[in-house]
Amino acid sequence: MSQQVKIFTGNASHELGEQIAAAYGMPLGDLSIQRFADAELGPSFNESVRGCAVFLIQSTNPPAENLMELALMVDAAKRASAYKVNVVMPYMGYARQDRKDKPRVSIGAKVLANIIQSVGADRLMTCDLHAGQIQGFFDIPVDHLDGAAVTVPYIKSLNLDNLLFASPDVGGVVRTRAYAKRFGAEIVVCDKMRLRANEIASMQVIGDVAGHNVVLVDDIVDTAGTICKAADLLMERGAKSVRAVITHPLLSGPAHDRIRNSALEELIITDTIPLREENKKIKVVSVAALFAQAMHNVVSHESISSLFI
């Protein structure tokens, strides 16, 4: 007999959580998150989850209390005798800290994996990790969904001619090539040199973009410095138009102003992280149906390989 399914969401992903539950075909479960006078969090389920397959939806973008809230939600579900606790983390924070690239630093992605597992999560479902190898930090099943499943149809609907895809840095070539393959298109690379995090010293384009409609591909846009500099440079090199498709819109600090003042015609993003500011250049494509389908397949023990990278 299949287990009863219950879906709950934390504060960081409440709007997306409602959309996922609606796409799944059921209402969100009743969860309260108390905030004490000193700002400590105390989640509690206002309905029984005993013996249920529970899905907890929460991205772990800053502030760090989003991660703490999720950890407490998992612990509460385990202590309430849930049959399985499935963490649905549309955006995995700290994923960029996935290795020691200099002495005496932490590996944040591994720390996050340890936290999620230590509180009792049985499964993780996420989208477009900064590096696919991060799945190896977990000793539980990880469903790594492909954001391109929802952004590719939108780009196809634009009917752009002379389409060309661009990676904003050398590290994103594999991701960009996978994207271009879906369109039978070529790629170019923007090679950048950094002096420090979020600060670019120089950039150059490897490849010819003259007369092409160019789409930049990346997983995260944070301060938008790289993507905007790349867009401006591509237009200088003769591109007909430049768009960017990004999965996770952190959009910190000056990001919105940079996007408005850049050569970008459009920034296509998903709703793994909610937008905090209106921006006419930004087009949001929802991943709600993608996650709902993956959840259906997990519950019914069907393959979800078509939703993987």
Residue-level pLDDT at 203: 83
- Which tokens sit at 179? 């994207």
pLDDT tens per residue across span 222-258? 999 999 999 999 999 999 999 999 999 999 999 999 9
Alpha-carbon distances, residue 82 vs 1, 5, 27, 51, 138 (angstroms): 16, 10, 18, 5, 21
Residue-level pLDDT at 309: 47
Predicted model pTM: 0.93
The residues that bridge with 56 in the sheet, in sequence order, are 8, 87
pLDDT tens per residue across span 72-108? 999 999 999 999 999 999 999 999 999 998 999 999 9
Using the predicted structure, report yes or no on whether residue 308 has a pLDDT greater than 90.
Answer: no
The arithmetic mean of pLDDT across residues 279-284, rounded, is: 97
The arithmetic mean of pLDDT across residues 39-64, rounded, is: 97
The arithmetic mean of pLDDT across residues 269-285, rounded, is: 96
Using the predicted structure, report yes or no on whether residue 1 has a pLDDT greater than 60.
Answer: no
**Which CATH number, 3.50.30.50, 3.40.50.720, 1.20.1630.10, 3.40.50.2020, labels domain 5-146+288-307?**
3.40.50.2020
Using the predicted structure, report yes or no on whether residue 200 has a pLDDT greater than 60.
Answer: no
Contact between 228 and 216 (Cβ < 8 Å)? no
| Residue 162, φ and ψ in degrees, nearest 5 | 45, 50
The residue with tokens 């790594």 is 144
Using the predicted structure, report yes or no on whether residue 159 has a pLDDT greater than 60.
Answer: yes
Distance in angstroms (rounded) separating the CA atoms of residues 185 and 111: 38
Residue-level pLDDT at 202: 74
Chain region(s) in the chain for CATH 3.40.50.2020:
5-146+288-307, 148-285
Using the predicted structure, report yes or no on whether residue 11 has a pLDDT greater than 80.
Answer: yes
**Residue 14 one-letter amino acid:** H
CATH topology of domain 148-285: Rossmann fold (3.40.50)
The strand pair at 53-57 and 84-89 is best described as: parallel
* pLDDT tier for residue 199 given thresholds of 50, 70 and 90: low
Residue-level pLDDT at 173: 93
The arithmetic mean of pLDDT across residues 260-273, rounded, is: 97
In this structure, of 17-26, 86-95, 128-137, 192-201, the range with the lowest mean pLDDT score is 192-201
The arithmetic mean of pLDDT across residues 159-164, rounded, is: 96
The strand pair at 31-35 and 41-45 is best described as: antiparallel
Using the predicted structure, report yes or no on whether residue 201 has a pLDDT greater than 70.
Answer: no
Residue-level pLDDT at 136: 95
Residues 6+ apart with CB under 8 A from 155: 183, 215, 243, 245, 268
Q: Which among 6, 102, 156, 192 is annotated as catalytic?
A: 192
Alpha-carbon distances, residue 62 vs 35, 58, 65 (angstroms): 18, 12, 7
pLDDT averaged over every residue in the chain: 94
Percentage of residues of the chain with pLDDT beyond 90: 88
- Which tokens sit at 13? 């992903």
Residue-level pLDDT at 191: 85
Using the predicted structure, report yes or no on whether residue 44 has a pLDDT greater than 70.
Answer: yes
Whether 192 is a known active-site residue: answer yes
Cis peptide before 27 (omega within 30 of 0): no
CA-wise closest residue to 6 among 70, 69, 63, 86: 86
* pLDDT tier for residue 305 given thresholds of 50, 70 and 90: confident
Residue-level pLDDT at 2: 62
